[in-house]
Chain A
């Protein structure tokens, strides 16, 4: 999902930065508030951050014959809402962009939007919706992590197609092309992330696990 340094026109890079910045600022506020109100949540937040650090460092093989990495952002989004993941995701992307030349500073805004905003928000939405529909917890966790992971890669495809529409087929053609690279490769990896997230969520929360707003 990383758009590499220099691979977005300046206008697009700036626009995505402007879109992402408020999410990160509000996320930092949300993080501060959660820690102030519930100091005991620090451990779970640390675990969520750790999960994202591990998963986003692992480039895994997929059936398409290319490698890609999961994002791990659903775990924290389900427990604390999507806001704090904007901060945690941005830290990961900053580390990778600055030290690894993976992603980059000019594309930071776009990458934060796909991995640290779009993914966690979709994950959170799916988690709440599944709860409202009365889905079993494990199923809700799986769907949230699976769709959150996929959403990040669909967003990257969207961003690249917007910046580089196909000469003949325009935006739609380019979206299909980038989607073919990212989203298809991501499908099996997202399933694997969903399964692992179920196990980790179970180990972390166990019986305390419940979906806010769900039918009792």
Chain B
């Protein structure tokens, strides 16, 4: 596939991710995981959680750790792609 097709596909993916912000400006954009937890709690009032996380990061710390995870992954992927690219150029 050509570089053009690649940019086209990536652009399309970016558009799909950006579109909700325009199509649904009133959206809260909370997490689905928390939404599901709330449904469980509201429709099963008798259910008692029997464990709890032993450590809960603050919102800021959570952002930091997710960013670290993404950065580590991007680093790995970028390293391999770069190595391939460098080799094929020789």
Contacts and interface: CB of A to CB of B under 8 A. Distances in A.
A and B bound?
Answer: yes
Interface of A: 1-7, 9-10, 43-44, 46-47, 49-68, 92, 95-96, 98-102, 104-106, 138, 156, 160, 164, 166-167, 174, 177-178, 181-182, 185-186, 188-189, 191-192, 195-196, 198-200, 202-204
Given A50-B74, A101-B53, A166 B43 contact: yes
Contact of A95 (B19, B47, B69): B69
Given A65-B28, A198-B9, A50 B20 contact: no
Interface string B2-39: 00001001101100110111011011111111111101
B-side interface mostly: helix
Contacts, number: 181
A204 B52 contact: no
Contact of B28 (A66, A98, A204): A66
Contacts of A167: 43
Given A2-B33, A46-B80, A66-B32, A53 B40 contact: no
14 contacts: A49-B76, A51-B77, A54-B73, A58-B70, A61-B21, A63-B20, A64-B24, A65-B26, A66-B32, A68-B32, A101-B53, A160-B36, A177-B39, A202-B1
